[in-house]
Amino acid sequence: MMSHRPMRTGLTLAGALLAAALWAMPASAQQAQVPPSEAVKLALQAVPGAEALGVKLKGDHYVVRLKQGGSVILVQVDATTGAVSQ
């Protein structure tokens, strides 16, 4: 009969390495990011009557391009918190 000891040791080691990697990761990287669709929704709420043209992730925030009337408006949405600024 085969022993499952090596497999269990390997899984234990993998779990320990994963825990160490998560512990060493900065807190901001561990937090879930706001999905791009939510960033667009938040930007549209901040600029009523606008239509979305596009969204790009730039570092730690999204830049959402909106069109309102004849103007293009850029709205920044924090990718971690969802906070909106213009």
Taking the C-alpha atoms of residue 78 and residue 61, their distance in angstroms, rounded to an integer, is: 4
pLDDT at 44: 97
Instruction: Note down the domain range covering 52.
Output: 5-85
More confident residue, 49 or 86: 49
Express each pLDDT in 67-86 by its tens digit. Answer: 999 999 999 999 999 999 98
Is the pLDDT score of 23 beyond 60? no
Q: How many domains does the chain have?
A: 1
Q: pTM for the full model? A: 0.63
Three-state secondary-structure class, residue 52: strand
Is the pLDDT score of 62 beyond 70? yes
**28, amino acid identity:** S
More confident residue, 73 or 7: 73
Which domain CATH number covers 33? Answer: 3.10.450
